[in-house]
């Protein structure tokens, strides 16, 4: 099987996943027990208000009709309307999504920059290096990210005053200011991630370095550095990238908490506020946006893994 | 003993090589005082059952054993004393002057590197050449070892090649820097019988064209019969017999060699039964004091409690071989024993 | 056989697995035991009522009576932490127990029978994993409303597919073992074979995973409560306490430090138990 076939097949597999997701997101509003419109508007709403909102949401149509209309809207970039501000949600999300994307991508990059080299070093290191990284990993994974964030604020914002405790300016308005606001959220989100990536890299590297092909490389006169960097890391890469893809989902979840903590206007914070305001269409659109992002990242990761390990596209066991 | 008679210097010489591993039962003597010479341009078969120490011997010669192994004796590659070199100096020798081919190409080769790059890598590890030069040279080598449409195969990962083709890649990488010595550790064991013959013919052809000396390690006497000039037989860490291939097959001198031959179908006398060697390989953490084969030997006597030396004319005169036995099975060897004592 | 030819490569840095497994397990169990004891004995141990408001003590620093200080309603932080630990542990443990009880039979059946049964069980479960975990929890909370019961349920739903996968994978291996085939050959029925031979030999990895997930469930519950979507005030919860104390962070940092340390210690205990179980089940570290 060639690479093009693999890419096409993997793309085709994404479609049913996206479809199931739309179905799930669509159902959120319909699974709410009782009358969602009443819940949304509260008990003081007049019957007219309720009827208007019901019509606005299309809830007076049969269920299948509502779904088809909604899905049709999605395909045209129409995500629905904010019940409170009456603004189109596509506009709202186009402002919020870049913030979440910046936060998660920067965090992942930071985690990779820390985790991969340390993991590789730990794999070739002595017993002390291993115990040290074991400790770092346990610490990074045990500490809840939002608590770490609070502690970072306590230290760097409240006590030292080096960085702002919360807030945001768009990168396009003030790049330096944007990055200043991003330092603490990114560090918060990246800490546990770096621990995971470190552990994964170390494990994958240890497996590779234990292979017979390493003796073969020694017999060819290859230097230890090239054995570790050229062959070890290269062989560990598909495993590490796979885990990075899975962990990106965790990061998107963490972003919900971190955005709330640091007052970043991302999709995560939007979802949380909207749940509290019972602004269900916004919750729907936000969940759909983040979930779609995750599906696309998973797709990208699978393609990268196939490119890194030629056995994947050929369907050969590893 | 033969005297020096103007013969050429050996390509690889082992002198009283000993390897000991620590174990829960005490030190295990895996290789015990082996002296052996590999001459330029010859294929020397090193034969023995699995566990007899032949692979350990090969790894010891290459300096590939883990630090826990205790190695003594000398390994001379041409004029160089390899056991005196540190890891860095050894690295310059390995893959350049002496190369190695392992049993299973699918575990030797890096699964995510292209096969061509793995050949080129060996060149660039030892020669200061550009990426392009290395690639061109790698393609040439791939052609030389009989890989069809080598230019296209260059960019393939190992799994797209058959087992035989993969072993050809390993051999191409081994030959990349035109080594004087090639150590091939069971190079055909993981392959089909028909492919085995092709790989052996390839090794034979390379020896002829390039004059590379080959130490061919195998448990398979059929492989020995096909390509080897001389044979060294190993038992429980010791060398028991060294002779030309013809001699070993026609007139085995050591009872172990004889037993080994009888255990191979189609090599014994017509109508003879396929024999199984009775008894067990000795525990190498406490081996028998004398001849290590004595407990299993049908001809063993009290004399065998003392270790027999490897005696005989193992190098100069091809009419005779060398054998380590108090009761050798052939008159030629028996005469050697008399003259020696 | 006395000695084999040297394997191509010496095993990488052999570690003493049994010792490390014992150490992890012991520390984890002792730590968890202490935390559980504190949670169970909360009414006895707590020096004050966790909900009593004392206007004179608002944001009071730690002192002899209020060992860990007071919060912005003048409630005793130590007492609230002790009661919050109770809620958090209950939510975390019950969610994982529920998920395990559902996941084990599903994974067992999927792995044992394979084929279309496997597809029928595994595909829908895989679909749950399409959504990032916290997003799924938020969706369920949107539907069912906030609260600790819903939080526990959401966490259970998130972990169900993970645990079922582990059980399935482990069952796949066990089902091919000789003793299972022998039991079938002796005429044992599917149900008897599964329950008597496959199940007991397959649940090990699930126990490892469940114990690690309990630690993460604790974190998830705290995160949800921090967002105001888990345990609802005035019931004290570790995440809720962190949210309450955030606005007065520089005035009363003890409000943030105490619950956070409690969460980290509880998570650590479950991770250590999981690590110890894994090492004792899989001394070579193959499955990690």
Q: Residue A256 is nearest to which of C134, C272, C285, comparing CB atoms?
A: C134
The answer to whether C223 contacts chain A (CB < 8 Å) is: yes
Q: Residue B125 is nearest to which of A215, A222, A234, comparing CB atoms?
A: A222
The region, left, alpha or beta by phi > 0 then psi within -120 to 50, assigned to residue A18 is: alpha
Distance of CA A80 to the CA centre of its chain: 23
Q: How far apart are CA A164 and CA A179, in angstroms?
A: 11
Q: Could you tell me the pTM of the whole model?
A: 0.83
List chain B residues with CB under 8 Å of A228. Answer: none
pLDDT at site B337: 46
Would you say residue C3 has pLDDT above 80?
no
Mean pLDDT computed over B155-169: 91
pLDDT at site A117: 92
Would you say residue B207 has pLDDT above 80?
yes
For residues A146, A149, A150 and A155, what is the CA-based torsion angle, rounded to 10 degrees?
160
Among A residues 299-318, those touching chain B with beta carbons less than 8 Å apart: 308-311, 314, 316, 318
Integer CA distances (angstroms), B56 to B64, B84, C6, in order: 9, 18, 6
**CB-neighbour burial class of residue B198 (10 A; exposed 0-12, middle 13-18, buried 19+):** middle
Among C residues 29-88, those touching chain A with beta carbons less than 8 Å apart: none
pLDDT at site B7: 57
pLDDT at site C283: 54
Count of other CB atoms within 10 angstroms of residue B117: 18
pLDDT at site C5: 36
When pLDDT is cut at 50, 70 and 90, the band that residue C67 belongs to is: low
Average pLDDT value over all residues in chain B: 82
Mean pLDDT computed over B25-46: 88
pLDDT along chain A (318 residues), means of 10: 80 88 85 74 75 76 84 84 80 91 95 94 84 86 88 85 84 86 93 92 90 88 89 92 91 92 91 87 90 91 90 74
Would you say residue B132 has pLDDT above 60?
yes
When pLDDT is cut at 50, 70 and 90, the band that residue B181 belongs to is: very high
* Between A253 and B253, the higher pLDDT residue: A253
Is-contact C211 C274, C-beta < 8 A?
yes
* Between B296 and B43, the higher pLDDT residue: B43
List chain C residues with CB under 8 Å of A260. Answer: 226-227
Task: Determine the straight-line distance between the first and last CA of chain A, rounded to whole angstroms.
Answer: 16
Mean pLDDT computed over B127-146: 91
Q: Two tokens at C106?
A: 């599903």
When pLDDT is cut at 50, 70 and 90, the band that residue C13 belongs to is: very low
pLDDT at site B46: 92
pLDDT per residue as tens digits for the range C216-260: 999 999 999 999 888 888 888 888 888 887 877 777 777 788 888
Q: How far apart are CA C32 and CA C2, in angstroms?
A: 46
**CB-neighbour burial class of residue A176 (10 A; exposed 0-12, middle 13-18, buried 19+):** exposed
Q: Two tokens at C278?
A: 């894994």
Q: Residue B94 is nearest to which of A219, A234, A308, comparing CB atoms?
A: A219
Integer CA distances (angstroms), B327 to B39, B47, B49, B324, C147, in order: 29, 21, 22, 9, 91
Integer CA distances (angstroms), B262 to B268, B272, B327, B334, in order: 5, 8, 18, 21
Q: How far apart are CA B187 and CA B176, in angstroms?
A: 17
When pLDDT is cut at 50, 70 and 90, the band that residue B223 belongs to is: confident
> How many CB pairs below 8 Å do chains A and B form together?
79
Contacts of B1 (CB under 8 A, 6+ apart): B311, B313, B340
Average pLDDT value over all residues in chain C: 81
Q: Average the pLDDT over each of B30-34, C16-20, C68-72 and give the range with the smallest value.
A: C16-20
Element spanning C3, H or E: none
* Between B152 and C58, the higher pLDDT residue: B152
Q: Average the pLDDT over each of B281-290, C22-31, C118-127, C264-273 and give the range with the smallest value.
A: B281-290
Shortest distance between the Cα of B50 and any Cα of chain A, in A, equals 18
Q: Residue A143 is nearest to which of C12, C239, C264, comparing CB atoms?
A: C264
């Amino acid at each position: 099987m060639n690479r093009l076939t693999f890419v096409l097949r993997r793309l085709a597999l994404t479609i049913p996943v996206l479809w199931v997701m739309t179905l799930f997101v669509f159902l959120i509003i319909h699974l709410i027990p009782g009358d969602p419109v009443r819940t949304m508007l509260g008990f003081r709403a007049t019957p007219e208000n309720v009827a208007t909102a019901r019509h606005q949401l299309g809830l007076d149509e049969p269920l299948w009709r509502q779904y088809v209309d909604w899905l049709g809207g999605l395909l045209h970039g129409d995500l629905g309307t904010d019940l409170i501000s009456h603004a189109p949600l596509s506009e709202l999300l186009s402002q919020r999504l870049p913030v979440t994307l910046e936060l998660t991508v920067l965090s992942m990059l930071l985690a990779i920059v820390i985790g991969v080299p340390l993991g590789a070093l730990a794999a070739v290191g002595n017993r002390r290096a291993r115990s040290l990284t074991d400790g770092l990993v346990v610490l990074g994974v045990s500490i809840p990210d939002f608590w770490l964030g609070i502690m970072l604020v306590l230290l760097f914002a409240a006590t030292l005053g080096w960085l702002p405790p919360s807030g945001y300016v768009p990168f396009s308005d003030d790049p330096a200011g944007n990055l200043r606001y991003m330092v603490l959220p990114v560090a918060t989100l990246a800490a546990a991630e770096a621990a995971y990536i470190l552990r994964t890299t170390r494990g994958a590297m240890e497996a590779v370095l234990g292979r017979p092909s390493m003796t073969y490389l020694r017999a060819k006169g290859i230097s230890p550095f090239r054995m570790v960097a050229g062959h070890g890391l290269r062989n560990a890469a598909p495993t590490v990238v796979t885990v990075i893809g899975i962990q990106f989902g965790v990061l998107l979840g963490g972003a919900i908490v971190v955005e709330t903590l640091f007052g970043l206007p991302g999709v995560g914070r939007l979802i949380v506020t909207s749940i509290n305001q019972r602004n269900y269409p916004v919750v729907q659109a936000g969940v759909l946006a983040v979930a779609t992002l995750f599906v696309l990242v998973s797709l990208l990761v699978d393609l990268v893994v196939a490119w890194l390990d030629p056995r994947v596209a050929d369907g050969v066991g590893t | 003993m033969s005297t020096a008679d103007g013969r050429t210097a050996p390509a690889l010489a082992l002198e009283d090589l000993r390897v000991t591993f620590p174990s829960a039962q005490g030190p295990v003597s895996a290789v015990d005082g082996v002296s052996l010479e590999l001459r330029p341009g010859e294929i020397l078969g090193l034969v023995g059952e699995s566990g007899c120490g032949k692979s350990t011997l090969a790894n010891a010669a290459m300096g590939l054993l883990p630090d826990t192994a205790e190695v003594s004796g000398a390994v001379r590659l041409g004029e160089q004393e390899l056991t005196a070199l540190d890891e860095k100096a050894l690295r310059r020798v390995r893959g350049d002057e002496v190369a190695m081919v392992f049993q299973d190409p699918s575990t030797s080769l890096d699964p995510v590197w292209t096969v061509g790059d793995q050949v080129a890598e060996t060149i660039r590890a030892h020669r200061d050449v550009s990426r392009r030069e290395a690639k061109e040279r790698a393609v040439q080598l791939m052609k030389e070892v009989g890989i069809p449409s080598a230019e296209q195969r260059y960019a393939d990962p190992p799994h797209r090649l058959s087992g035989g083709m993969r072993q050809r890649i390993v051999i191409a990488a081994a030959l990349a820097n035109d080594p004087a010595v090639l150590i091939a550790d069971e190079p055909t064991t993981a392959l089909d019988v028909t492919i085995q013959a092709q790989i052996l013919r390839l090794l034979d052809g390379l020896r002829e064209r390039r004059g590379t000396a080959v130490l061919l390690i195998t448990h398979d006497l059929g492989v020995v019969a096909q390509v080897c000039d001389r044979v060294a037989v190993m038992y429980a860490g010791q060398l028991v017999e060294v002779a030309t291939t013809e001699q070993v097959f026609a007139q085995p001198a050591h009872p172990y060699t004889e037993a080994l031959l009888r255990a191979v179908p189609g090599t014994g006398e017509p109508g003879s039964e396929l024999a199984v060697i009775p008894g067990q390989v000795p525990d190498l953490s406490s081996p028998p004091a004398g001849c290590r084969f004595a407990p299993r030997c049908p001809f063993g006597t009290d004399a065998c409690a003392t270790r027999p030396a490897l005696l005989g004319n193992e190098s100069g005169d091809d009419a005779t071989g060398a054998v380590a036995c108090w009761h050798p099975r052939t008159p030629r060897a028996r005469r050697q024993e008399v003259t020696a004592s | 056989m006395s000695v084999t030819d040297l394997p191509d490569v010496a095993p990488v840095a052999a570690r003493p697995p049994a010792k490390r497994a014992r150490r992890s397990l012991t520390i984890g169990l002792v730590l968890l035991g202490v935390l559980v004891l504190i949670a169970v004995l909360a009414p006895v141990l707590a020096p004050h009522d966790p909900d009593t408001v004392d206007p004179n003590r608002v944001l009071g620093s730690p002192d002899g009576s209020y060992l860990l200080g007071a919060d912005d309603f003048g409630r005793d932080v130590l007492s609230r932490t002790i009661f919050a630990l109770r809620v958090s542990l209950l939510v975390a443990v019950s969610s994982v127990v529920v998920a395990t009880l559902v996941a084990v039979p599903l994974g067992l059946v999927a792995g044992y029978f394979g084929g279309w049964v496997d597809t029928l069980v595994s595909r829908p479960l895989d679909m749950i994993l399409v959504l990032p975990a916290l997003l799924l929890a938020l969706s369920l909370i949107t539907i069912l409303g906030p609260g600790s019961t819903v939080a526990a349920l959401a966490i259970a739903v998130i972990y169900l597919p993970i645990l079922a996968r582990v059980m399935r994978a482990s069952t796949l291996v066990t089902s091919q073992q000789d003793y299972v085939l022998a039991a079938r050959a002796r005429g044992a029925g599917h149900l008897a074979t599964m329950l008597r031979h496959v199940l007991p030999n397959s649940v090990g990895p699930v126990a490892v995973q469940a114990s690690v997930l309990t630690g993460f469930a604790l974190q998830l519950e705290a995160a949800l409560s921090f967002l105001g979507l888990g345990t609802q005030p005035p019931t004290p919860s570790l995440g809720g306490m962190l949210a309450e104390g955030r606005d007065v962070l520089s005035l009363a940092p003890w409000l943030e430090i105490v619950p956070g340390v409690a969460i980290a210690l509880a998570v650590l205990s479950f991770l250590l138990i999981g690590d110890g179980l894994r090492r004792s089940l899989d001394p070579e570290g193959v499955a990690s």
